[in-house]
Structure 1
Amino acid sequence: MSDTRASARNRFFIPALGRFYANLDTSAETLLRVVAGLALVTHGLPKLMNPFGAVGMVEGLGFYPGVFWSPLLALTETFGGLAVALGLFTRPAAFASAIVLAVTVWFHWITQGQGYGGSEKSILWLAIMLFFAIRGGNRQSVDARIGREF
Structure 2
Amino acid sequence: MTEIATDRPRLIVPALGRVYSALGEGAETLLRVAAGLLLATHGYGKILDPFGASGMVESLGFYPGAFWSPLLSATEFFGGILIAIGLLTRPAAFAGMIVLAVTVYFHGIVQDQGLMGAEKSILWTLILFFFAVRGANRHSLDARLGRQF
Task: Give the TM interval when normalised to the shorter protein.
Answer: over 0.9
* AA of the residue aligned to 1:60: S
Query: Counterparts in 2 of 1:50-61, with a 5 A limit?
Result: 50-61=49-60
- Are 1:37 and 1:82, in contact at CA under 8 Å, matched by a contact in 2? yes
When residues 118 and 148 of structure 1 are mapped into structure 2, their CA distance, relative to the original with a 3 A threshold, is same
Structural mapping, 1:8-87, within 5 Å: 11-87=10-86
Residue 13 of structure 1, CA deviation? 1.9
Q: TM-score, normalised by structure 2?
A: 0.93
**Separation (CA, whole Å) in 2 of partners of 1:49 and 1:96:** 20
Question: How far apart are 1:12 and its partner, in Å?
Answer: 1.7
Identical-pair percentage: 65
The CA RMSD over aligned residues, in Å, is 1.6
Q: How does 1:133-148 map to 2 (within 5 A)?
A: 133-148=132-147
Unmatched runs of 5 consecutive residues or more in structure 1: none
Determine the C-alpha separation between the residues in 1 that align with 2:9 and 2:96.
Answer: 39
What residue in structure 2 maps to residue 113 of structure 1? 112
More helix by share: 1
Amino acid at match of 1:91: R
- AA in 1 matched with 2:69: S
Asked if the contact 1:76/1:96 (under 8 Å) is kept, the reply is yes
Q: Between Structure 1 and Structure 2, how many residues are aligned?
A: 145
| CA distance 1:8–1:95, shift in 2 (3 Å) | closer
Deviation string 1:63-121 (CA, Å, 9 cap, x unpaired) is: 01101111110000001111111110000000000000010101000110001100111
Please tell me the residue identity of whatever aligns with 2:101.
A
Hey, what's the Cα distance between the residues in 2 that align with 1:84 and 1:62?
28
Matched with 1:101 is: 100
Whole-Å separation in 2 of the counterparts to 1:22 and 1:73:
37
User: Structure 1's 105 and 144: CA in aligned 2 closer, same or farther, altered over 3 A?
Assistant: same
Once the two structures are superposed, residues 10-63 of structure 1 have per-residue CA deviations (whole angstroms, 9 ceiling, x without a partner) of 822221110011011000000111111111111100000111110110000000
Q: Aligned letter for 1:70? A: S
Q: Which runs of 4+ in 1 moved over 3 A?
A: 7-10
CA distance in 2 between counterparts of 1:8 and 1:31 reads 25
CA contact (8 A) 1:58 1:69 kept: yes
- 5+ residue gaps, structure 2, are none
CA distance in 1 between partners of 2:9 and 2:94 (Å): 37
Amino acid paired to 1:137: A
Q: TM-score, normalised by structure 1?
A: 0.92
